[in-house]
Chain A
Amino acid sequence: MADIILSVSGVSISFGGLKAVNNVSLDVPQGSLTALIGPNGAGKTTLFALMSGFLKPHQGTVTYCGQDITGQAPYINAVAGMTRTFQIVQPFAAQTVLENIAVGAHLHYPNRHVALNFARDIAQQVGLISQIDKPAADLTVAGRKRLELARALAAKPKLLLLDEVLAGLNPQEILEMIPVIRNMTQQGITVLMIEHVMQAVMNLAEHIWVLAQGELIAQGNPNDITQNAQVIEAYLGKGAATGQSTASVVTNAPSTQVSFASTQHTNPLLEVSGLRGGYGHTEVLRGIDLKVYQGETVALLGSNGAGKTTFNQMICGLVPTQAGLVKFANVDITGAHYTNIVPRGLIQVPEGRKIFPNLTVLENLELGSFSRARARRSENIEYVFNTFPRLRERTKQLAGTMSGGEQQMLAIGRGLMAEPILLILDEPSLGLSPRLVEEMFELIHKLRETGLSILLVEQNVAQSLNTADRVYVMENGALKFSGLPSDLMNSDDLRRAYLGL
C-alpha cells in the first residue's frame, strides 16, 4: 500500500436540518487515480469543499501529507499542492483562456513570460491551444471543463480534486478527455474525481468510493462496485437489483396501460418536436421530440448534465428556443414569454425546489396561485394541507428554514396551488432520504390517480418506472430511448446510461 497523501477521518457537516456529509472517512493513496461517485445530493461536492478548505467540518479531521489541514484556507492548501476544479465551472470570464491558465501557473512561476509559456504548454496538453486567445466566457461547455482542468494543472498540484469534469460533454468529447486525465497520473499527480459518467469512471479509476445521503456506503474496485447491490439500489432505487420484482410492479399497473392506450388517438397535451437550444454558444438540446397525453404520467430519465432541466426551462419559456416547436393544449407556445405560459396551466416544480426562502410556508403557497386559480386559493390551500399535513404544522415558518424534504413538499404544493393541467416535476426526490423518497413517489402516485398529467424528470429510475406510463431517456441533449417502462427495464440502455456498462 502506497503512503497516504490525503486522509479524511470522520468528517461531518450539516446545513440547516440536512446532514450533508455524515462521518465520512477515506484515505487517498499517493499517486493513485480514484473516484468518488453517488447519486445527486449525496454530498460529494460538499466533501470536496471540506477536503480543500472551502468548508470547515463540524466534526472530523482532514490530513494532507501527514499534516492536519482541517479548515485551513484553500489558497494555503493550493500552495501546499492540493488544487480542485468546480462542478459549476468558474472561469475568470473577462480574461482570455491563456490568462486564465496563467493565473494557475503564477503559483510556481512569478515571472509573467515564464508563466505564460508554461500556460501554453498546459493548454497544449488539455487541447485548448487553438483557443488560448478567446475570452473564457466564449468557450463551449467542453472548452470550459478543459479550462477548469488546465488552470488547476498549471498550479502543478500534487493532489488534484476533479469535480465532474466530464459532465455535460458528449461521448466524443468524453473520449478525448479520458487520456488527458490518465496522462496526469502518469505525471505523478494523485487524482480524486467526482464523476457521473460511469464508463469514464469504470475505465479510469482503480478504486471507487460511493457516497449516498452523505454517507460512505461502499468502496472497492470498479467491478465490485457495479455488482454491489447497495450501489445499484442507490442509483436505480429499490427493487432494481432484482429484475422480476420491478417487472411485476410495471405489470400490476393495468389502469395506466389502458389510460395510455385510450389517449393515443386524442391530441397530445404537450407536444414537443425538434426542440433545439441552449445557453449562449453552447447547444444543450440537440433536437427533442416528446409527447405527453392527457392524464398520462411520463418519465424523462437521464444522468445529470444530460439536458433535462434545460428542456424544462425551455418549454416554460425561461430559456430561449433556437429551433423546434412546443405545443401545449393545441396552442403553439414556442418561445412565448413565461407570463403567457404559466397561466395556461403548464406548471413546473423546478429542480432544487426554488421555493421563496424569505417567505412563510403559507405565503409560498399563496404565490402559487399568483397567476392562476386565485379565486379558489383558500380551497386549494386546504387541499395542499390535506395532501401534506406536515406543511400545515409549519404554516408560519420561513420556508428557507425547513428541511430538504419539507421544502420539496412545499415546492410541489406551491405548484398544485395553480391547479396545473400539466405538472412538471424536476428531480422531486433529489437529496431526500430513502424514506422521504418513498413518500414522494407515493404522493406522485396519488396525484396521478387524480387524473393529473405529469412529466416526471428523475434520476431515481426504478421508482420512476413504477410510476410512469411511458418513459424517455435523454443523454447529452438527445433522446436515447422512448417507450414502455417494462421495455426499458429489460434493455441495456438503462444500465449503460447510469453505470456505463
Chain B
Amino acid sequence: MKSLLGIAALAIGVGLLPLFVESGVWINFVMMTLYAALLAQAWNILGGFGGQFSFGHALFFGFGAYTQAIAQLQWGFNPWVALTMAGFVSGAVGLGVGALTFRYGLKGSYFALVTLAFAEVFRILAVSVPFTGAGVGMMIPLKESVSNLQFESRVGFMYVILGLLVAAMLVTWWLQNSKFGAYLQAVRDNEYAAQAIGVNPFRVKLGAIALSGAFMGWAGAFYLQVFQYIDPSIAFGPHTSVEALVAAIVGGLGTLWGPLLGALALHLLSDLTRNLFGSLPGINMVIYGSMLIVIVMFLPRGIAGIGLSVTRLWRGKRG
C-alpha cells in the first residue's frame, strides 16, 4: 500500500511540475530521466526480479521504435495505435527470444551474450532490408498535434512518458505482491528449491521477458515520437542496452524505486559533469565513469539498498 501511495505521489508531483517550472532544461531533464527510468524499470523486471541479465535489451527497444515508425509511415496507423502495438510487438519478440534461450537453459553470462548477439543481428538486418529504410533510417514527419502524438512543448511528452513509467512501476509493484512475482523471485534466488515446491521456471521466465520487452518497446516508440528519427544503430546499438542496465543496477536490482533513483542519479551526474567540464572534451566522461565505479564500490546493493542491513549487502541474488 505504501508503495502505491508513493507511485501516486510521483505521478501527481511530476504531473503538477509544469505549473511551477517553465524551464525547458528542467522539463527536458525530467522527461529524459523518466525515459531512462522506464528503460531501467523494464530491464529490472527481467534482470532484477528474474535474475536474467540481458546485455541486448536494445533489441526490444529497437522493435518498439521501428514498429512505431513502420506502422505510421507504411501502414498509416495513428501514432497512438502504433504506440500500443509497439509494446505488444516487443513483448512478442521477448517471448520468442525467451522461448529459445530459456528452453535451452541459458543463464548467466551465456544469456547475457546471446541477447547481445540478437540485438546485433537485428541491427545488421535493419541496415540491410529495405522496409526499415536501411541505413538511411526512418523519419516521421513533423505534425504537432495531440492526436498525432507530437507536442509543441516537451511537457506533453513528459506526461506520456510519465504515464508509461507509472504503468511500469505498477507492474513492478504487482511483481512484489503477486503469485507470479513471488515465483519469479523464487526462480531468481534458487531454481531448484522453487521447482521442489511447484514452480515452473521456464514459464515464469517467459512471462518476465515478455513484460520486460513490452515496456522496452514502449520506450522505443516514445523515443521515436520525441526525436522523430531512428536508424539501426540508434535502435539496436549497445548504447540503450547499457543505459538500461546501468541505471537499474546502480539504483538497486529487484526494487520498485531503484531504477528511478538510478536514472535520476546518473542523469544528474552526466548533466552536471557535462555542464561543468563541457569545454574540455572527455573529462566529463572520465568523472562519470569514475563515479560509476565509486558508486558500485560503496553501494554494492545500489542506491535503493542504502537502508538495508549489512548482511543483506553481501547476500542477495546472484547474477
Contact = CB atoms under 8 A, between A and B. Distances in A.
A contacting B, Cβ–Cβ less than 8 Å: yes
Interface of A: 52, 54, 73-75, 78-79, 83-86, 90-95, 99, 102-104, 106-107, 110-112, 115, 135, 137-138, 151-152, 154-155, 280-281
A98 to B, nearest CB: 11
Contacts of B178: 112
B32 interface: no
A356 B254 CA distance: 36
Interface string B284-319: 000000000000000000000000010110011100
Interface in B27-68: none
A114 to B, nearest CB: 10
Give the interface size bracket for B toward A.
Answer: 20 to 34
A89 to B, nearest CB: 9
Nearest to B317: A94
Interface of B: 177-179, 182-183, 185-186, 188-190, 192-201, 254, 309, 311-312, 315-317
Given A95-B185, A112-B177, A137 B193 contact: no
Contact of B189 (A94, A154, A155): A94
Contacts of B186: 92, 95, 103
A106 B179 contact: yes
A107 B200 CA distance: 11
Contacts of B197: 78, 83, 103-104, 107, 151-152, 154-155
B3 to A, nearest CB: 13
A100 to B, nearest CB: 8
Main secondary structure of the interface of B (DSSP, over half): helix
Contacts of A112: 177-179, 182
B185 A92 contact: yes
Contacts of A86: 192-193, 196
Nearest 5 Cβ contacts at the A-B interface:
A78-B198, A92-B189, A90-B193, A137-B315, A74-B195
Given A93-B315, A95-B189, A280-B311, A103 B196 contact: no
B218 to A, nearest CB: 26
A120 to B, nearest CB: 15
Nearest to B179: A106
B248 to A, nearest CB: 15
A309 to B, nearest CB: 22
Contact of B196 (A83, A94, A280): A83
A91 B179 CA distance: 17
Contacts of A152: 196-197
Contact of B316 (A54, A94, A107, A154): A94
Contacts of A75: 194-196, 198-201
Contacts of B177: 112
A372 B257 CA distance: 53
Contacts of B315: 93-94, 135, 137
Contact of B182 (A52, A90, A91, A106): A106
A240 to B, nearest CB: 37
Nearest to A99: B182
Given A90-B190, A92-B193, A112-B178, A106 B311 contact: no
Contacts of A54: 192, 195-196
A102 B198 CA distance: 12
Contacts of B193: 86, 90-92, 151
Nearest to A137: B315
Nearest to B189: A92
A155 B200 CA distance: 14
A448 B145 CA distance: 91
Contacts of B198: 75, 78-79, 83, 104, 107, 155
Contacts of B311: 135, 137-138, 280-281
B315 to A, nearest CB: 4
29 contacts: A73-B195, A75-B194, A75-B195, A75-B198, A75-B201, A78-B195, A78-B196, A83-B196, A84-B196, A90-B192, A91-B189, A92-B185, A92-B186, A92-B190, A94-B185, A94-B316, A95-B185, A103-B182, A106-B183, A107-B198, A112-B178, A135-B311, A135-B312, A135-B315, A138-B309, A138-B312, A152-B196, A280-B311, A281-B311
Contacts of A83: 196-198
A135 B183 CA distance: 17
Given A95-B185, A103-B182, A106-B179, A74 B196 contact: yes
A390 B182 CA distance: 52
